[in-house]
């Protein structure tokens, strides 16, 4: 496995280390991955997954994309550099009796032979890594000639409602809080559809399409649920609030609660985020 330090660029200071992903794996499994199934299915449909095909998930987390693919009838290998993410994935796949296994692997250097998979995908994973060009080349390398590569990534951060609720609630309690630093987060490096299209082409793919018609929909009923989603989905929000007191955290959750209530009618509040779903053929 490639050491993360060997693969980093000068953008690496904005990257969470593997230990930080391990630390949120349980929260991710409980509060984030289960809500991703609709968008995962939308991506798998756009990539034309068929039952009986082989599917490789890169930076798979606890299985937000792999579990729907396996339920659909694909034979799945889920890879992630964080061992705890893979533990949760294997537990879920085993409990459902799916044809799916997880293995710890860094996406910048996949321990997989060339031309192996019918479909290789990554949902919110290769989207955020420091050497994305290398990770995309790896995804293409391990895909069969004529096979497809799928990348699901966030679109325009200005329209990412949960992120703005979170920052707004923290600022209501800690007015001097500035949010993420001035430099754009790696999470949004392919937020512009044409940038994603070009990166897929540069990685060696043909017939590249980028769909922008789908959204992530986060359903929450309480401020606590939104807090758990934010802190469980990515280590960065937790790092931003690491120095706050318990009282400040409780106040932020109360503010979030008010925001969620204002945003809901009868059912849960639905917060959306735009998506770019890129597909190309090797
Ligand atoms: C936001 S989560 C997405 C997880 C999953 N694909 C999903 O859709 O639920 C990002 C994942 O990328 C993984 N990751 C980050 N850097 C990685 C790397 N260099 N190699 C492999 N996985 C990585 C993290 O451990 C985490 O599980």
For 61-76, the pLDDT digits (tens) are: 999 999 999 999 999 9
Q: Which of 81, 137, 229 to mutate to test the pocket of ligand 1 (most atoms within 8 A of CB)?
A: 81
Q: What is the DSSP letter of 167?
A: H
CA distance 103 to 108: 14
For 129-171, the pLDDT digits (tens) are: 999 999 999 999 999 999 999 999 999 999 999 999 999 999 9
The CB-based long-range contact list for 102-105 (8 Å cut-off, 24+ gap) reads: 102/60, 102/63, 102/66, 102/77, 102/78, 103/77, 103/78, 103/79, 104/1, 104/79, 104/80, 105/1, 105/79, 105/80, 105/81
Coil, strand, or helix at residue 219?
A: strand
For 192-205, the pLDDT digits (tens) are: 999 999 999 999 99
Sole residue written with tokens 């705890």: 84
pLDDT recorded at residue 177: 85
- Residues with CB under 6 Å of ligand 1 are 21, 33, 36, 59-61, 64-65, 80-82, 85, 106-108, 123-125, 129, 233-234
Say yes or no to pLDDT of 26 above 70: yes
Domains of the chain, first to last: 4-281 (3.40.50.150)
- State pTM to two decimals: 0.94
Name the nearest CA neighbour of 220 among 35, 61, 13.
Answer: 35
Q: What is the DSSP letter of 176?
A: T
CA distance 33 to 27: 9
CA distance 91 to 277: 28
């Amino acid at each position: 496995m490639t050491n993360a330090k060997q693969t980093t660029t000068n953008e690496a200071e904005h990257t969470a280390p593997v230990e930080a992903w391990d630390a949120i794996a349980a929260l991710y499994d409980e509060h984030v991955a289960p809500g991703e199934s609709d968008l995962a299915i939308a991506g798998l449909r756009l990539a034309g997954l068929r039952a009986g095909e082989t599917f490789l998930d890169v930076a798979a987390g606890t299985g937000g994309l792999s579990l729907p693919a396996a339920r659909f009838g694909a034979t799945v290998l889920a890879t992630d550099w964080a061992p705890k993410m893979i533990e949760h994935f294997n537990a879920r796949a085993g409990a459902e009796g799916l044809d799916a296994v997880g293995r710890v692997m860094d996406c910048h250097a996949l321990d997989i032979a060339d031309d192996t998979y019918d479909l290789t995908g990554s949902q919110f994973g290769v989207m955020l890594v420091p050497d994305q060009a290398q990770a995309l080349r790896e995804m293409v390398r391990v895909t069969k000639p004529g096979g497809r590569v799928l990348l699901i990534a966030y679109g325009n951060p200005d329209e990412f409602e949960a992120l703005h609720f979170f920052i707004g609630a923290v600022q209501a309690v800690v007015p001097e809080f500035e949010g993420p630093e001035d430099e754009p987060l790696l999470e949004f490096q392919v937020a512009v559809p044409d940038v994603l299209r070009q990166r897929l082409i540069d990685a060696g793919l043909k017939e590249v399409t980028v769909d922008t018609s789908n959204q992530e929909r986060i359903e929450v009923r309480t401020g606590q649920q939104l807090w758990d989603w934010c802190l469980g989905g990515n280590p960065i929000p937790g790092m931003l609030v690491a120095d706050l007191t318990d009282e400040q955290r409780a106040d932020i959750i109360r503010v979030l609660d008010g925001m969620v209530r204002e945003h809901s009618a009868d059912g849960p509040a639905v917060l959306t985020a735009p998506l770019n779903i890129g597909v190309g053929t090797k």
